[in-house]
A and B are shown apart, each in its own frame.
Chain A
């Protein structure tokens, strides 16, 4: 009988109450805990090649005595949302103290009241070292509910040995010469943003109609067979094998791909490139919220961030890291993929945060265009 009662509790009206309900209570000061549950994406923190240990977490333990339970359980924003939704809605984090999700999903988490307000006084390194460009996103004006973990560039990855000329524009993906040899990302803001740039629209300020026009263009390219398929990270396989020649992809993957195959190259298109950030947040009901704040602050020390940045190859949101890396590895420090300079950053576009209604409209249209 109890099993049935339990099932009944899972059902009901899908376990979600409506309305916007930001958490306004700040995480109270507490004691440093013995453990911390950190939920992150795969291959997103430094790992020692020999010992296979995660250096950052070892250093945290040395400093605070906390053993970090680091779980690589996030493969996709939507999938992760589906997984935690019912628990978070009931104020239960499922034991998690920190999760990392992309801008737009972090905006949704804030909107639904699934994350706690951070106490900035406990995070002096964040206050000091967070890049100025990232301090005031449109969905969280003062970064009260989340701090960037790493930044992602979406641009063009291409095969030097297959394309007829070096691509420059986001529109090169629509070149008939590459019919069936292109892929786009299933991550809506990246793909729609890049296509919008090619249509002369700004993804930071564009209207829903601009977005729908871009989606229409994507739909036509998919129906005509110009675009072979829409992928997450698995595009790395297609381009390595030569099944695709010119694609929309992410910088961090590209650094790795370029290292393995000199024919693969990433560019930031002339019209601009999409810049998004994965955000660390403390979910409601996190058992060790105070320690989670300490962890967020910890990775904002440049000397702690440097090995992470050097390992994962994404855009670090922490000031002072470039200077540290410059000493050991000047080539890495000059990479526009990891440390974009002011000139490159000027062309970076952050996709506009949509209202819930618009988000649903645009996402539905996009899903329809990419086949489902």
Chain B
């Protein structure tokens, strides 16, 4: 009797894990398996697709689309850097100087999320219009030439990505900054630390988990994004997400699309693991 209840107790953690595992299996492992399989198929919609270990899908995709691959990481990297530069001061102010406005400010950060992604990006088209306010202003102060434009340029795409993923940067930054014990900062000041040194020696290291989390949450979806390049850019700004979209949806070349998706995933995984190792964040995991 006692042994049985012992065993039952031991199985409880596994039972509790079961829904999570089932979820992962059905929505992650199995789709991944089929994607891997499709990526090694050969054929066309007319002849049908057959699984033939066709590894050429990968090599062909790399040689044809290396430009868009590099561009994706370049834009995602730029956008992540910009989001960090914009997001850190903002999160800092909210966490340490927010006072009674803290919640209101946080709400303002999240508020755009109540509007769908697509609509937010489309409204940037209006903001960045050739005859719009922003372009007119920049032309007046001479930053943009007479014929200059913002829409359908690299700047517009990077700005769009930065804007759309900024909250993913701010929220984890805020969470880790807010947790910092103010007494540590006071101690730093009491020990005659200059404000700059208190920041670099105390605040910044303690907020590193937030920085790492924010960078990951911004970079990963940004690298696979295609909406911003589609709506704010031109073919010269298209990223790997646009290519996958077109191979899958327009050309009905499912194997190449699957191979590209896999390589995007692998590349992100490699970059992220190097980054985590460098940044060394035990607290994060």
The residue that B249 contacts in the complex, of A82, A369, A371, with Cβ under 8 A, is: A82
- For chain A residues 224-248, which have a beta carbon within 8 Å of chain B? 225, 227-230, 237, 241-243
Taking the closest CB of chain A, its distance from the CB of B113, in whole angstroms, is 24
How many residues does chain A have at the interface if contact means C-beta atoms less than 8 Å apart?
44
The residue that B245 contacts in the complex, of A13, A370, A372, with Cβ under 8 A, is: A372
Question: Please, which residues of chain B bring their CB within 8 A of the CB of A369?
Answer: 235
Residues A78 and B250 in contact, CB atoms below 8 Å apart: yes
Residues A19 and B125 in contact, CB atoms below 8 Å apart: no
Taking the closest CB of chain A, its distance from the CB of B246, in whole angstroms, is 4
Question: Please, which residues of chain B bring their CB within 8 A of the CB of A229?
Answer: 152, 233-235
- For chain B residues 136-166, which have a beta carbon within 8 Å of chain A? 147, 149, 151-152
Q: Is A14 an interface residue (CB 8 A)?
A: yes
Taking the closest CB of chain B, its distance from the CB of A348, in whole angstroms, is 26
Question: Please, which residues of chain A bring their CB within 8 A of the CB of B246?
Answer: 367, 372
Question: Please, which residues of chain B bring their CB within 8 A of the CB of A227?
Answer: 234
Take A14-B254, A242-B130, A371-B234 as given contacts and tell me if A79 and B48 are in contact as well, using a CB distance cutoff of 8 Å.
no
Residues B251 and A7 in contact, CB atoms below 8 Å apart: no
Residues B34 and A18 in contact, CB atoms below 8 Å apart: no
Stretch at the interface among A26-34, A51-59, A95-103, A356-364: A356-364
Question: Please, which residues of chain A bring their CB within 8 A of the CB of B45?
Answer: 16, 85, 108, 112, 356
Taking the closest CB of chain B, its distance from the CB of A286, in whole angstroms, is 21
Question: Please, which residues of chain B bring their CB within 8 A of the CB of A367?
Answer: 246-247, 250-251
Residues A371 and B30 in contact, CB atoms below 8 Å apart: no
Q: Is A61 an interface residue (CB 8 A)?
A: no
- For chain B residues 178-211, which have a beta carbon within 8 Å of chain A? none
The residue that A81 contacts in the complex, of B47, B245, B247, B252, with Cβ under 8 A, is: B252
Stretch at the interface among B5-13, B35-43, B78-86: B35-43
CB-CB nearest in chain B for A229: B234
CB-CB nearest in chain A for B45: A16
Question: Please, which residues of chain A bring their CB within 8 A of the CB of B236?
Answer: 222-223, 225, 371
As a 0/1 sequence over residues 59 to 70 of chain B, the CB contacts with chain A under 8 angstroms (1 = contact) are: 000001000100
Q: Is B51 an interface residue (CB 8 A)?
A: yes
Taking the closest CB of chain A, its distance from the CB of B242, in whole angstroms, is 4
Taking the closest CB of chain B, its distance from the CB of A13, in whole angstroms, is 6
Residues A364 and B46 in contact, CB atoms below 8 Å apart: no
Measured between alpha carbons, how far is A162 from B204 in the docked complex, in Å? Answer: 54
Residues A243 and B26 in contact, CB atoms below 8 Å apart: no
Residues A18 and B234 in contact, CB atoms below 8 Å apart: no
Question: Please, which residues of chain B bring their CB within 8 A of the CB of A14?
Answer: 38, 41, 48-49, 254
The residue that B251 contacts in the complex, of A16, A111, A356, A363, with Cβ under 8 A, is: A363
Take A13-B51, A78-B249, A367-B246 as given contacts and tell me if A20 and B235 are in contact as well, using a CB distance cutoff of 8 Å.
no
Question: Please, which residues of chain B bring their CB within 8 A of the CB of A223?
Answer: 236
Question: Please, which residues of chain A bring their CB within 8 A of the CB of B51?
Answer: 13
Measured between alpha carbons, how far is A237 from B238 in the docked complex, in Å? Answer: 20
Residues A79 and B151 in contact, CB atoms below 8 Å apart: no
Measured between alpha carbons, how far is A243 from B152 in the docked complex, in Å? Answer: 10
Q: Is B131 an interface residue (CB 8 A)?
A: yes
Question: Please, which residues of chain B bring their CB within 8 A of the CB of A360?
Answer: 44, 251, 253
Take A371-B235, A371-B242 as given contacts and tell me if A356 and B44 are in contact as well, using a CB distance cutoff of 8 Å.
yes
The residue that B43 contacts in the complex, of A18, A81, A111, A372, with Cβ under 8 A, is: A18
As a 0/1 sequence over residues 208 to 237 of chain B, the CB contacts with chain A under 8 angstroms (1 = contact) are: 000000000000000000000000011110
CB-CB nearest in chain B for A364: B251
Residues A16 and B49 in contact, CB atoms below 8 Å apart: yes
As a 0/1 sequence over residues 117 to 144 of chain B, the CB contacts with chain A under 8 angstroms (1 = contact) are: 0000000011001110000000000000
What are 17 A-to-B residue pairs whose CB atoms are below 8 Å? A4-B25, A4-B26, A13-B50, A14-B38, A16-B49, A18-B43, A18-B48, A19-B46, A19-B47, A112-B45, A180-B149, A229-B235, A241-B126, A241-B131, A360-B253, A363-B250, A363-B251
A interface list, Cβ under 8 A from B: 3-4, 7-8, 10-11, 13-14, 16-20, 76, 78-79, 81-82, 85, 108, 111-112, 180, 222-223, 225, 227-230, 237, 241-243, 356, 360, 363-364, 367-372
B interface list, Cβ under 8 A from A: 25-26, 30-31, 33-34, 37-38, 41, 43-51, 64, 68, 125-126, 129-131, 147, 149, 151-152, 233-236, 238, 242-243, 245-254
The 8 closest A-B pairs by CB, nearest first: A371-B235, A18-B48, A372-B246, A371-B238, A11-B34, A18-B47, A356-B46, A14-B49
